[in-house]
Copies of this chain bind each other. A is one copy, B any other.
Amino acid sequence: MGDDNIKHQENDNKSVAGISSIIPGWFSEISPMWPGEAHSLKIEKVLFQGKSDYQDVVVFQSSTYGKVLILDGVIQLTERDECAYQEMICHLPLCSIPNPKKVLVIGGGDGGVLREVARHSSVEQIDICEIDKMVVDVSKQFFPDVAVGYDDPRVRLHIGDGVAFVKNAAEGTYDAVIVDSSDPIGPAQELFEKPFFEAIAKALRPGGVVCTQAESIWLHMHIIEDIVANCRQIFKGSVNYAWTSVPTYPSGVIGFMVCSTEGPAVDFKNPVNPIDADDSQSRPLKFYNSEMHSAAFCLPSFAKKVIESKAN
């Protein structure tokens, strides 16, 4: 963390890169990905501001959402609602197959997905490939309850390009791949494109599963349409869209493409590998349960129509 690019500083919003301050003391999330609207959080104190090789990185203490991680001006997680995203993106795929052993996480440098994967006792190896080391370092410093995922001895961290990592993986290696990416503007763009999905399909075993961040049905139906069409060509097992509530993401929801490769059939809507009853653990699940799992695949009529029209 001794990098020249990194500056700790007091709460002086006007000088904070990556913070579009519309009232002094508030962070406002303004983006061409959701024109005409902005969610704002009140800032108690800016804790970190840096510029990595890939993006602007900001951490602040908010007044009501705990600590907040911002990449290129977009909220990645808040302590108050990160449970919804991390638990769903992880357990939707992993609870849908029996005994997952090898899991690959692309992106997800904050470590929250690792924390969730580690709940699964069948898992023997957790590879993670994150492009931006600053995200890992910042999470370890400011988000211990998220970065705790790195403490698991099964985790192997690779800093580098996720697309290249997946392309270089031996065929049929993984039971599950989880793509915890930012939006398709900036460093994550390739993670929404066909060659990457093809590489994932190859890196998965037959009947292996993938879950990728897939935007909001309220805001990005055109992007989702393209992703669904691509996935239907590439993943020959099953192709599904699921969604969940995350208050600090634009429109209050985030979706996932949840697919499987040809091989043993995977019925994603009916989890075969439940982890509901783990309340004995030191960190009980806050959001996910088997009912929420199945419900996540139920779509509003306007979205269902578009997504199912891509079925052939």
Contact = CB atoms under 8 A, between A and B. Distances in A.
A26 interface: yes
Contacts of A84: 300
A65 B289 CA distance: 33
A298 B304 contact: no
Contacts of A218: 81, 245, 247
Contact of A39 (B39, B219, B249, B301): B39
Interface stretch (A30-38, A114-122, A193-201, A224-232): A30-38
Interface centre among A41, A284, A291, A294 (most CB of B within 10 A): A291
Interface in A256-294: 284-289, 291-292, 294
Contact of A62 (B36, B38, B65): B36
A22 interface: yes
Interface in A40-67: 40-42, 62-65
A294 B295 CA distance: 8
Contact of A36 (B36, B42, B246): B42
Contact of A247 (B41, B251, B284, B304): B251
A63 to B, nearest CB: 4
Given A287-B302, A291-B298, A39 B37 contact: yes
Interface string A68-98: 0000000000000101100000000000000
A42 B22 CA distance: 12
Given A38-B40, A40-B38, A302 B289 contact: no
A28 interface: yes
A76 B65 CA distance: 24
A311 interface: no
A295 B300 CA distance: 11
Contact of A287 (B63, B291, B300): B300
Given A37-B65, A289-B304, 7 more contacts: A36-B41, A38-B39, A245-B300, A286-B300, A287-B300, A291-B299, A292-B301
11 contacts: A22-B22, A22-B40, A36-B42, A36-B65, A37-B64, A38-B39, A247-B252, A285-B301, A288-B300, A289-B304, A292-B298
